[in-house]
C-alpha cells in the first residue's frame, strides 16, 4: 500500500501542509526541529491512533490550536483508493473513511504503517508494555477475532480493578462474572498471540540473519501473563486477597511479554546499544514482512533519523531491501543520507514546519 498524499493540520509545528507522495523512497531532510519526525508521526497516527513518541497525546496538538487532523489518500496494491481521515477536536478523536464516520479500529485496520525511530530500542531494552503493543498491533492486523476479545478483556479488567479498589467490602459474587470473562477472553488472546509469534518467528530469523549474523541463532520466548500450568479463572479467585492488597489485577493477558535472545548474546544486557537498535529494526521489518505475506501488500515503512541510528552499510542494506520489496518508505535526516544517494528517491526539504519538494 502507499500514501498518495498526506495533509496535516495543527500537529506540532505543522500548521497546514500538503505532501504529495510518490511510490518508493521519500526523504524528508531539514534542520533539527524542522518538523520531519512530525510528518512520520502523522502517517503513523492513521495506522495506530497514537504517536510512536512517548508523552501525552496532548503534545501532538499544535500549541494554541484546538484541533488537529490528518487526511490521506491511500492506494492499495489492488488499485483501490481510500480517503482516510483522523481528527481531534478538544478531547474527542474522530476517524473517517471515504467521507463516512468510522471507528478508530476500522481506520487502523485499513492502513498499516511501521516505524523504526530513535525510541525503537525500547522494544528490546524497555518495559513489557512496548513489546505487547508491538505484538498486539501485529495480531490485530492478521487475526480478526483479536480485537473483540481484547476489548472484552480490557472492559472486564477495568471492572475487576475498580472492585479491587472499592472503599467498602465487595461481595465475592460481584467479582465472579468479571473473572469468568477475563478467563475466557485471556484464553483467546493468549492463543492468538502465541500463534502470531510462531508465524513471525521465521521472519525474525531471516531479518536477524541479515542484520546481526555475528550473534548466531535467534531464540524467542513468550510469557502469557500467568503460570503455564494454571487456570487463570482459578488463579484470579485464589489470588484475590493479594490483588485486593495491591489494588490491581496482578496476572492475566495484560502482563504478557515476549523476548528475543541470541546464541551469542543470551541476555539483553549482552547487546550493545547499536545491536539493540538493529534487533528492534529486525523486529519492525519482520512484522512488515509477515503483514505483506498475509495481506498481500507491504505496509508503509518509516525510518526516522536513519543516518544517526544505523551505520552506512546497514542503512543501504535496509533501504535496498525495502526498495526491492516495493514498499513505500519515508526516511528523515538532517541531510539526505549518503547511503540513499545511489538509488531513486523523492526528496523534500523541511523548514520550520513547511515542506517543499526538491528536484
Ligand X SMILES: Nc1ncnc2c1ncn2[C@@H]1O[C@H](COP(=O)(O)OP(=O)(O)OP(=O)(O)O)[C@@H](O)[C@H]1O
Residues at the contact surface with ligand X, assessed by CB under 6 A: 12-13, 30, 32-38, 59, 61-63, 305, 332, 334
Helical packing angle, 146-164 and 172-211, nearest 10°? 130
CB of 125 to ligand X, least distance (A): 20
Identify which of residues 183 and 305 has a Cβ nearer to ligand X in the complex: 305
What are the grid coordinates assigned to 348, written together?
A: 523534500
Question: Is 31 assigned to a binding site?
Answer: yes
Task: Check the annotation: does 10 bind a ligand.
Answer: no
**Least Å from the CB of residue 59 to ligand X:** 5
Which of 271/345 has CB closer to ligand X? 345
Q: By the 8 A CB rule, do 117 and 54 touch?
A: no
d(CA 208, CA 213): 7
Nearer to ligand X, 33 or 247 (CB): 33
Q: Give the dihedral of Cα atoms 175, 178, 184, 189; nearest 10 deg.
A: -120
Shortest distance, position 35 Cβ to ligand X, whole Å: 4
Contact by Cβ (8 Å): 97, 110: yes
Nearer to ligand X, 16 or 263 (CB): 16
59 is known to lie in a ligand binding site: no
Residue 258 beta carbon to ligand X: minimum distance, rounded to whole angstroms: 29
Are 39 and 355 within 8 A, CB to CB?
Answer: yes
Cβ burial, residue 135 (10 Å; 0-12/13-18/19+):
buried
Q: Is 185 annotated as a binding residue?
A: no
* Closest separation in Å from C-beta 289 to ligand X: 27
Q: State yes or no: 36 annotated in a binding site.
A: yes
For residues 135 and 301, which CB has a smaller minimum distance to ligand X in the complex?
301
Say if residue 30 carries a ligand binding annotation.
yes
Nearer of residues 17 and 218 to ligand X, judged by Cβ: 17
Whole-number minimum distance, CB 288 to ligand X, in Å?
Answer: 22
Residues 322 and 285: their CA atoms lie apart, in Å, by 9
Task: Determine the Cα–Cα distance for residues 72 and 84; give it in Å rounded to an integer.
Answer: 5
Known binding residue 148? Answer is: no
Q: Is 277 annotated as a binding residue?
A: no
Q: Would you list the DSSP string of 136-202?
A: HHHHHHH-TTHHHHHHHHHHHHHHHHHHHT-SSPPPHHHHHHHHHHHHHHHHHHHHHHHHHHHHHHH
- Numbered residues of the known binding site for ATP: 30-37
Amino acid at each position: 500500500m502507499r500514501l498518495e498524499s498526506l495533509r496535516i493540520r495543527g500537529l506540532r509545528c505543522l500548521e497546514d501542509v500538503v505532501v504529495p507522495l510518490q511510490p518508493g523512497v521519500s526523504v524528508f531532510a531539514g534542520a533539527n526541529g524542522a518538523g520531519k519526525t512530525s510528518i512520520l508521526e502523522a502517517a503513523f497516527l492513521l495506522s495506530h491512533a497514537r504517536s510512536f513518541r512517548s508523552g501525552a497525546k496532548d503534545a501532538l496538538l499544535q500549541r494554541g490550536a484546538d484541533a488537529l487532523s490528518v487526511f490521506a489518500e491511500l492506494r492499495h496494491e489492488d488499485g483501490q483508493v481510500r480517503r482516510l481521515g483522523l481528527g481531534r477536536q478538544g478531547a474527542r478523536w474522530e476517524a473517517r473513511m471515504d467521507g463516512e464516520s468510522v471507528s478508530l479500529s476500522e481506520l487502523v485496520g485499513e492502513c498499516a504503517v511501521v516505524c523504526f525511530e530513535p525510541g525503537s530500542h525500547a522494544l528490546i531494552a524497555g518495559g513489557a508494555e512496548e513489546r505487547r503493543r508491538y505484538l498486539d498491533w501485529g495480531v490485530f492486523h492478521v487475526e480478526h477475532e483479536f480485537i473483540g476479545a481484547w476489548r472484552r478483556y480490557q472492559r472486564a479488567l477495568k471492572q475487576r480493578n475498580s472492585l479491587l479498589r472499592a472503599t467498602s467490602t465487595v461481595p465475592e459474587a460481584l467479582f465472579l462474572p468479571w473473572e469468568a470473562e477475563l478467563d475466557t477472553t485471556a484464553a483467546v488472546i493468549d492463543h492468538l498471540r502465541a500463534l502470531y509469534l510462531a508465524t513471525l518467528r521465521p521472519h525474525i530469523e531471516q531479518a536477524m540473519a541479515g542484520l546481526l549474523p555475528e550473534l548466531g541463532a535467534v531464540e524467542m520466548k513468550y510469557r502469557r501473563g500467568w503460570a503455564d500450568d494454571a487456570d487463570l479463572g482459578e488463579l484470579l479467585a485464589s489470588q484475590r486477597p493479594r490483588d485486593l492488597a495491591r489494588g490491581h489485577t496482578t496476572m492475566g493477558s495484560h502482563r504478557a511479554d515476549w523476548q528475543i535472545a541470541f546464541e551469542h548474546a543470551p541476555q539483553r544486557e549482552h547487546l550493545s546499544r547499536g545491536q539493540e537498535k538493529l534487533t528492534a529494526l529486525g523486529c519492525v521489518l519482520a512484522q512488515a514482512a509477515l503483514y505483506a505475506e498475509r495481506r498481500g501488500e507491504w505496509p508503509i515503512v518509516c525510518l526516522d533519523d536513519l543516518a544517526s541510528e544505523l551505520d552506512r552499510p546497514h542503512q543501504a542494506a535496509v533501504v535496498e531491501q525495502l526498495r526491492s520489496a516495493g514498499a513505500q518508505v519515508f526516511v528523515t535526516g538532517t541531510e539526505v543520507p549518503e547511503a540513499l544517494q545511489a538509488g531513486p528517491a523523492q526528496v523534500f526539504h523541511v523548514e520550520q514546519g513547511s515542506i517543499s519538494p526538491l528536484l
